[in-house]
Amino acid sequence: MLKTIQGWWRREEGAQQKPELTLAITKLMVGMMTMDGKIDAQERATIVSSLGEQFGLSAQESDALIVQATDKERTDLRFSAVVEQIVEHFNVEERAAILAKLWRVAMADGNIDFLEEQYINRLSGLLGVPASALAEMKAKQEQLFPDLDHSKRFQQPNTVIR
């Protein structure tokens, strides 16, 4: 009985916690990396590079954050807590810059998948980034990848076109 109550207490405490900012941003990047169902080396390298640029982290520190961000047991990494933490600490322009980093992660493997497109669209709404700013950011980032494959971008997975 005591263990049950302690378990409830820990879950309640965890529900109130918010992740640190570097981990919150890493969680969103890892979410983008896994959205297409594969963990791609180029996407992972893009995350490591972005974390190094934004926070001055070494490759080892970035890898450690990626591992933490994939821990499904962490209650502070619930999607709602991550979004809340970012909205609380960044203005709209900074949130748009975070979305640009996420979009670079999606493009790193050379193609954009339907679920990646949906992830960034949904996340932009939750972060309060206007649709016009999102469209502008996507266009700007896509210019960096002229050979980007868009063939799966608007096609839902397992959809047969006849």
C-alpha Rg value of the chain to the nearest Å: 17
**DSSP-assigned states of every residue in 38-99:** S--HHHHHHHHHHHHHHH---HHHHHHHHHHHT-TT-GGG-HHHHHHHHHHH--HHHHHHHH
| 17 C-beta neighbours (distance < 10 Å), count | 13
Is the model's pLDDT at 41 over the cut of 80?
Answer: yes
- Pick the residue with more confidence: 40 or 48? 48
Is the model's pLDDT at 31 over the cut of 90?
Answer: yes
Domains and CATH numbers, the chain: 14-142 (1.10.3680.10)
- Give CA separation, 21 vs 1, 76, 88, 89, 123, in Å: 36, 11, 10, 8, 16
User: Tens of pLDDT along 100-134?
Assistant: 999 999 999 998 989 999 999 999 999 999 999 99
Amino acid of residue 36? D
- Pick the residue with more confidence: 86 or 8? 86
Task: Give the pLDDT confidence score for residue 6 in this predicted structure.
Answer: 47
pTM of the model: 0.81
User: Tens of pLDDT along 79-104?
Assistant: 899 999 999 999 999 999 999 999 99
DSSP state of 36: T
Is the model's pLDDT at 4 over the cut of 80?
Answer: no
